[in-house]
Amino acid sequence: MRPQCDPSKFVANTVKNIPPSGIRRFFDLVSGLEDIVSLGVGEPDFITPWHIREMCIHSLEKGQTSYTSNYGLPELRDELTRTYYRRYGLDYDPSSEILITTGVSEALDIAVRTVVNPGDEVIIVQPSYVAYVPSVVLAGGKPVIVSTHRDDEFSLTAEALKPAITDKTKAIILNFPNNPTGAIMTQEDLEDIADLVVDNDLFVISDEVYECLTYEGKHVPFSSLDGMKERTVMLNGFSKAYAMTGLRLGFAMGSPEIIHSMMMIHQYSMLCAPITAQIGAIEALRNGKEEMERMVREYDRRRHFIVRGFNRIGLECGNPKGAFYAFPYMGNTGLSSSEFAERLLDEKKVVTIPGDVFGEAGEGFLRCAYAASIDDIKKALDRMGDFVDGLKQ
Amino acid sequence: MEFFVKFPYFVPVTNMDEQIRHILEILENDARASPEEIASLTDMSAQEVSQTIAKLEDTGVIRHYKTIVDWDLVGENYVYAVIELKVTLERNQGYQAIAERIYKFPEVRSVRLLSGNYDISLTVRGKSMKDVAFFVAEKIATLDQVQSTSTHFVLKTYKEDGVILHEPESIKRLPVSF
Residue A363 is predicted with a pLDDT of 97
Domain annotation covers residue A85? yes
**Which among A82, A180, A70 is positioned nearest to B176, based on CA atoms?**
A180
Of B21, B174, B178, the CB nearest to A297: B21
- Give the ranges where chain A is alpha helix by DSSP (H): 13-16, 23-31, 50-61, 74-88, 103-115, 132-138, 158-161, 187-199, 256-269, 275-287, 289-312, 337-348, 374-392
* A208 plus A142 within the same structural domain: yes
ipTM of the complex: 0.75
CB contact under 8 A, B41 and A27: no
Last residue of a domain, one of A288, A303, A332: A288
Does the structure show a pLDDT above 60 at B6?
no
Residue A286 is predicted with a pLDDT of 97
Of A40, A297, A300, the CB nearest to B176: A40
* A101 plus A239 within the same structural domain: yes
Domain boundaries, chain B: 2-58, 71-160
Domain annotation covers residue A53? no
pLDDT band at B13 (very low <50, low <70, confident <90, very high): very low
Domain annotation covers residue A56? no
Domain annotation covers residue A272? yes
Q: Which residues of A touch B26 (CB under 8 A)?
A: 301
Give the residue numbers spanning the domain of A244: 64-288
Residue A336 is predicted with a pLDDT of 96
* A40 plus A122 within the same structural domain: no
For A333-352, b where at least 16 C-beta lie within 10 A, e where not — what string?
A: bebbbbebbbebbeebbbbb
CATH number at residue A85: 3.40.640.10
* A320 plus A373 within the same structural domain: yes
pLDDT band at A129 (very low <50, low <70, confident <90, very high): very high
pLDDT digits (tens, 9 = 90+) for A162-183: 999 999 999 999 999 999 999 9
Residue B12 is predicted with a pLDDT of 45
Nearest chain A Cα distance for residue B39, angstroms: 9
Range A48-60 average pLDDT: 97
Residue B7 is predicted with a pLDDT of 54
Nearest chain B Cα distance for residue A40, angstroms: 5
Range A16-25 average pLDDT: 75
Residue B11 is predicted with a pLDDT of 46
pLDDT digits (tens, 9 = 90+) for B29-54: 999 999 999 999 998 999 999 999 99
* A175 plus A106 within the same structural domain: yes
Last residue of a domain, one of A288, A313, A332: A288
Q: What is the pTM of this model?
A: 0.88
* A172 plus A282 within the same structural domain: yes
CB contact under 8 A, A30 and B175: yes
pLDDT digits (tens, 9 = 90+) for A82-98: 999 999 999 999 999 99
Average pLDDT, chain B: 87
Range A332-358 average pLDDT: 95
Q: Are strands A98-101 and A250-253 parallel, antiparallel or unpaired?
A: antiparallel
| Cα nearest neighbour of B40 on chain A | A305
Range A115-125 average pLDDT: 97
Residue A72 is predicted with a pLDDT of 98
pLDDT digits (tens, 9 = 90+) for A281-336: 999 999 999 999 999 999 999 999 999 999 999 999 999 999 999 999 999 999 99
pLDDT digits (tens, 9 = 90+) for A383-392: 999 999 999 8
* A25 plus A123 within the same structural domain: no
Residue A17 is predicted with a pLDDT of 81
Q: Would you identify the CATH topology of the domain B2-58?
A: Arc Repressor Mutant, subunit A (1.10.10)
**Domains identified in chain A, total number:** 2
Domain annotation covers residue A365? yes
Nearest chain B Cα distance for residue A102, angstroms: 17
Distance, in Å, from the CA atom of B43 to the CA atom of A119, rounded to the nearest integer, reads 49
Of A41, A43, A305, the CB nearest to B41: A305
- Give the B-side interface with A, CB within 8 Å: 21-22, 25-26, 40-43, 171, 173-178
Give the lowest-confidence range in A106-120, B82-96, B109-123.
Answer: B82-96
Domain annotation covers residue A376? yes
CB contact under 8 A, B26 and A26: no
Nearest chain B Cα distance for residue A381, angstroms: 13
Does the structure show a pLDDT above 80 at A355?
yes
Q: What is the dihedral of CA A43, A46, A51, A55, to 10 degrees?
A: 40
Please give the helix or strand (H or E) that residue B163 lies within, else none: strand B163-164
Residue B140 is predicted with a pLDDT of 95
Residue A11 is predicted with a pLDDT of 95
**What class does CATH assign to B71-160?**
alpha beta
Residue A112 is predicted with a pLDDT of 98
Distance, in Å, from the CA atom of B137 to the CA atom of B128, rounded to the nearest integer, reads 14
Residue A370 is predicted with a pLDDT of 97
